Amino acid sequence: MIDLVLFSSTSRLWLILPLIICISLVYAGTHHEQLGLIVRRAWRTFKWITGFMLLAFGILYLIQYLV
């Protein structure tokens, strides 16, 4: 079931990745001046957001699995 959702061609789920990249880059860009620092901080923000969303996904999946 998870595979169907994640890899479905009709799913817009994958738009979340460029969205997170854009948000991370702009957020880091408004906090730093050096390009290297911006990219490093953006990567960190990307991991935080993605991790948080995966955690939320895991919890919701667990709930629907248990109920």
Site pattern 42..61 for another protein (x: CB under 8 A): --------------------
Footprint of another protein on 17-36 (CB under 8 A) = 18-19, 21-23, 25-27, 29-35
Single out the residue of 6, 14, 17, 37 in contact with another protein (rule: CB under 8 A): 37
Based on DSSP, count helices (H) and strands (E) in the chain, helices before strands. 3, 0
Cα Rg, the chain, nearest whole Å: 15
Q: How far apart are CA 25 and CA 22, in angstroms?
A: 5
Q: How far apart are CA 53 and CA 16, in angstroms?
A: 10
Q: Which residues bind another protein (CB under 8 A)?
A: 12, 15, 18-19, 21-23, 25-27, 29-35, 37-38
